[in-house]
Amino acid sequence: MITKKIVITGGPGTGKSTLVNELIKRGQVCLEEISRQVTLDAKKNGIDQLFLTNPLLFSELLLKGRQQQFIEADKLQKETVFFDRGVHDVLAYMDFIGDTYPDNFIETCKNATYNYVFILKPWEAIYTSDNERYETFDQAKKIHLHLVETYKSYNYKLIDVPFGTVKERTDFILKSIDM
């Protein structure tokens, strides 16, 4: 069985996790965002914001985790698996902060091919920040542009998820992939 791999991406605070939770409620298999866990693990080790303190280490941990999720998706033997962010998001964030990264980051992105990439635009009406989300709304808009640029550079045709209720947005995604 070939698993359809579907990314839901977007800048911080765009509603990705809410959509993933709704997909899970509807019986879909979803691999959840791992950056919060990486951040919380770093805090346990005394590093308040690993992404700000050591962006390369943070990004290496994310890339490794997302690459592992990509591999695990095939082992699940499911027709469709959704991802709350893909490996390419790591490059977009590194480009956003203007940091360099090793060639293995690029190779990982070349080797991880998703069937669909849905992107959520910045939406000020739902944007909130918290202890793990430190970006401003203006920064979220810039991150969005980097995400678009990064995925397009790997020849993905991004599917814009329109603003709407959680139900409407989830229905749009499922209809777009014929589910």
Query: What's 14's domain CATH number?
Result: 3.40.50.300
- pLDDT the model gives residue 109: 96
Q: Is residue 19 part of a domain?
A: yes
Q: Is residue 179 part of a domain?
A: no
Q: Is residue 115 part of a domain?
A: yes
pLDDT, one tens digit per residue, over 109-147 is 999 999 999 999 999 888 776 655 567 889 999 999 999
Q: Which letter, b or e, does each residue of 96-117 get, where b requires 16 or more Cβ atoms within 10 Å of its Cβ?
A: beeeebeeebeebbeebebebb
Total number of domains in the chain = 1
- pLDDT the model gives residue 35: 84
Residue 144's domain spans which residues? 4-174
Give ∠ CA 166-169-172 in degrees, rounded to 5: 145
Q: Is residue 51 part of a domain?
A: yes
Q: pTM, whole model, 2 decimals?
A: 0.91
